[in-house]
Amino acid sequence: MRNVEAKFPLPDAASARRRAEALGFECIGTLLQHDTFFVVSSGKLKLREQPDGAWLIHYQRHHDKELELSNYEIAAVSEPLKLRELLSAALGVLAKVRKRRTLFRRANIRLHLDHVDNHGDFGEIEA
């Protein structure tokens, strides 16, 4: 699969939310996400866990511009705890990220307003 995305810091998350709604983005909901990134030789590999499911995602990004082309593969995971333990032992953990993500959508555009524990507020737009 492929998308184009941009990530950016949000100095004022409340203002960003108001602007998104003024531009016609609809708030879909808020999720708590726990991402575990594993040590791999190519791209990034993360296990994303949230209340409604878990997914293993491998992606390659080209970081040469503000807009990034991202190629990724995603698979649903039925036993995330067991998989996290297995991959942690086999590959090693690069990083763990916990965040509260508010998801907005307008046509085929997704806007994420994230509060990342210990790092602050960030936005991400995907098409």
Number of compact structural domains in the chain: 1
- Residue with the bigger pLDDT between 3 and 102: it is 102
List the domain range (segments joined by +) for residue 17.
Answer: 2-126
The pTM of the full predicted model, rounded to 2 decimals, is 0.91
- CATH number, domain at 54? 2.40.320.10
> Among 35-49, 65-79, 110-124, which is the least confidently predicted range?
65-79
Q: Residue 53: enclosing H or E segment and its boundaries?
A: strand 53-61
Q: Angle 33-37-113 (CA atoms, 0-180°, nearest 5)?
A: 35
Query: What is the average pLDDT score of the chain?
Result: 95
Q: What's the Rg (C-alpha) of the chain?
A: 15
Q: First CA to last CA across the chain, in angstroms? A: 12
Task: Give the pLDDT of residue 70.
Answer: 87
How does DSSP assign 75-100, residue by residue? EE-S-HHHHHHHHHHHH-EEEEEEEE
pLDDT tens string 44-70:
999 999 999 999 999 997 665 678 888
Q: State the Cα–Cα distance between residues 115 and 92, nearest whole angstrom.
A: 25
Give the DSSP H or E segment for 59. strand 53-61
